[in-house]
Structure 1
Amino acid sequence: MIIQIKKMNESIAKEILHWHYDPPYDFYNNDCSDDNIKELMNENFKAIVDEYNNLVGFFCVGEAAKVPAGYKFGVYHAELIDMGLGMNPHLVGKGYGFEYCTFILDSIKKQFGNTPIRLTVATFNKRAIHLYEKLGFVYEDIFTSEFGEFMTMIKHQ
């Protein structure tokens, strides 16, 4: 699959917000509200499309990638590049994850150099955690919020 970054726009944001994941990944389903559209339109969010301009997923860096409850547990104390991502539910579980995440990591490295990257993932998402470990991320911390339990993982460049 040939993928590239595309600027986020309202149409893409709405498509993402209409994605529906099967349980237990329905945790990642969102409402297509004005606030959620506005959040995705933040300059820190980028869309990823394939060679046919089909939406493959998105990623974000910075504050948008953090789970706010993590602050009270001190998990975001270190100055790192925070990364968040999502993949089209029609592509999840089909073997594209490693290539997809490598593309995102390479893009972040081009922008930020060798600064370590941190991500936050729901602890139930064993499939994602396994992928992140294959990509070189290691467990750093764990915390809970009203939505569930999360872990932070770090990758040193």
Structure 2
Amino acid sequence: MTIVSMSKAAAIEIISWTYEPPYSMYNLENVPEQIEELLNGNYYAYPCPDGTVYGFFCYGHDAQVPGGQKNGVYKSDALDIGVGMNPTFTGQGYGQSFFQAGLSYGRETFKPNRFRLSVNRSNQRAINLYRKCNFATVDRFNNPGPPKAEFLLMEEM
């Protein structure tokens, strides 16, 4: 599979994804503004051979959480990465290879010194994955919403 620029068809598919609790906080709104954001040039789709979107990545400012921006936690020169996996494929052991694909693409495309990400503190499954991929918590912050939650700021070590 190859990571490609986000298409309108992929964006429409992504906003239709429905995650079950406790991951439902990651459900996107089915509104034109959400499609516009996904098509702003900072989002990339990871399509399956049959055309289904396996997941997506975003890099830079769009991968940051507003509460972290407000609290000034994005200080280092690391490149922020955001990820979203199709809920059909979550919880089946595919996360590490999926995340590594996004890191590889980001390294080739943007040449960062290292990566940084923000993760909801309640998403232990993702936190464990990021730790396996050599990320460590460097800060915490509260996001006023949505989603209203505590987030961990993790950086690649």
TM-score, length of structure 2 as denominator length: 0.94
| RMSD value, Cα | 1.1
Q: How does 1:76-91 map to 2 (within 5 A)?
A: 76-91=74-89
Question: Could you report, residue by residue, the CA deviation over 1:71-123 in whole angstroms, capped at 9, with x for unpaired residues?
Answer: 22221111210000100000000111011011111111112335110000000
Number of residue-to-residue matches in the alignment: 154
CA distance in 1, matches of 2:7, 2:110: 23
Residue equivalent to 2:70: 72
Residue equivalent to 1:152: 153
Matched residue type, 2:15: L
Residue equivalent to 1:35: 33
Matched residue type, 1:40: L
> What are structure 1's unaligned runs of at least 5 residues?
none
Question: Could you report, residue by residue, the CA deviation over 1:25-49 in whole angstroms, capped at 9, with x for unpaired residues?
Answer: 0000111111111000011100001
Matched residue type, 2:7: N
CA distance in 2, matches of 1:7, 1:110: 14
SS of 2:129's equivalent in the other structure is helix
Q: How does 1:48-59 map to 2 (within 5 A)?
A: 48-59=46-57
Matched residue type, 1:68: P
Deviation at 1:145, TM superposition (A): 1.5
SS of 2:108's equivalent in the other structure is helix
Residue equivalent to 2:126: 128
Matched residue type, 1:154: E
Matched residue type, 1:123: R
- Are the equivalent residues in 1 in contact too, given 2:42–2:60 (CA < 8 A)? yes
State the percentage of identical aligned residues.
38
TM-score, length of structure 1 as denominator length: 0.94
SS of 1:4's equivalent in the other structure is coil
SS of 1:149's equivalent in the other structure is strand
